[in-house]
Structure 1
Amino acid sequence: MLLWVDMCCGAHGAASSAEFSRHCQVRPTDQQHLWAALSLASNADVICFDFEHPDMSCLKFMTDTKARFPSVPIIMLMSQQSADVVLWALRTRIFDVLLKPLTARDVLRCVQRLSPVLEARRTQSTRANATGAEAIPDETRYHARRSSRGKLDGVLGYIEKNYAQPISEQEVAKECGLSPFEFSRAFRAAHGITFRDYLSECRLVQSKRLLGIAQVSVSDVAAMAGFNDPSYFARLFRKRTGSSPSAYRASLLTLKGAGTAGLVEADSEATG
């Protein structure tokens, strides 16, 4: 069951929740009653926070919810993309951030990614949230000056384009006109996460996408995502997701097959 928390006074919420209701039971709630619902509903698997533009108090509530219910995956919907908020969500272990308006493909992909995580959650004991509280992004408080980030412009885009290749922090620092020490401090100050950790998270995101392609071996997935050592990739993947790459793939392909079968059946009924 998915608990739907409307944080935007109903604007576009019905359409978004309707997309998820095609795949799972959706139960509406609000900020005031969410924790009680989580405590009472033993079958509450996922939380979805539906925002227009999240502010500091909203993100603080999400942080508190994650700390109180660390094993429950959280999905976050927004109407406008924000690099700072997405990075905050990554560090806070928010499961996924989706932009509205949602498409059927967006929701299906999210549900497919959730399947192995929920399966692992059901077979494991509740674990404490080891990440700690993350700083709320400045832009949810006010539009702070970004002058200290000037020399880092383009670094995230560079990672997105070159994650599959060996990326040296020293080389990137040189391109930014900074020493390795200066770059390391500036990157962490700007994004709240180390350069190496951000690069690893980016590669893990790509590996999850590649695991959905049955013809690509797990070792090839590791290499294509930028991990030179398949053993290290497998350890890191299990640490971040709670399941092995092979188990994640099996659950993903099973769900994908079920989703495809459902679409075929629906098409047959529509044309029959």
Structure 2
Amino acid sequence: MVKTHDYVLVVIRNLQETFDDGYLKTLRQHGYRIELVPAGQDPIPTMEARPPIAACFQYDYPDLQGLADLREAKKRVSSVPLLMITQAHSEHLAVWAFRSRVWDYFVQPIDMPRLLEVFASLRSVRLPGSASVASNMDPDSRKALDVQNAIPPEARLRCSGPGGEQAQLDRAMSFLDKNLHRKIAQAEVAESCGLSTFQFSRLFKRLTGVTFQEYLLHRRIAEAMRLLANPKVSITDVCFTVGFRDLSYFTRVFQRYVGQPPSRYRLSLVDKQQEPQPHQHKIEFDPLAATAAQLSLAPLKS
């Protein structure tokens, strides 16, 4: 049995050359030894020969190959806990990560106290127990780790019965997210919620404060803004991915809501990355928590 070694393996899978390594400095300050696996290099031989406390897969904007590398590492070296750190926030990406059995998932800027707690628990369990697989740990050790990986309490605040209005709205939001790439008729969303079009229209407006079509357009633009942060994705691909079928129309709508065309918005993101600002404004758009107070019809600002 190969024993666990006292170090953290960081697998760089960024699309851009630079990445935020602030969390690595903090880990080093707390006594963790860090080894890096650069882009293009296979981390599995190192993980097999010298299993680390954990392997962190570092992404800026995950691509298919980078995510495939994580899945393959989990398949081949299942005893090593995997953490995923990314600059691109996406509910679907988080779901994919946990279905791939990553131990924890962090979005930049990282919650350092929680990251340090996770590593402290992993180190205390992994080193004394050598290379035992997490799922085969003794109950007390497993319980210690689960405390750090528990579902946040706030995630339970919005629970509702299967037939409640909030549950119906959640189903509508999930339907939109899954089908954002294509034309969406209000009638089919209403049907997915078990409502008539009229009932759905009234429910949606009452719970969100905006009409369905107004919300859908905001949702498409918000998703476009997120995708444009990835320099590897063309503006045309962004246009079609968020459900527009005409690039010129997409450009006009985007400019109306954001205040500048997609190309200029992307350049503004590059400028912000090159010139660090102490107080960067980050647009938060959570469709599952949309309320009249959170969702305004005022144009989105970059």
Which TM-score band applies after superposition, normalised by the shorter structure? 0.3 to 0.5
TM-score by length of 1: 0.46
More helix by share: 1
Which structure has the greater CA radius of gyration?
A: 2
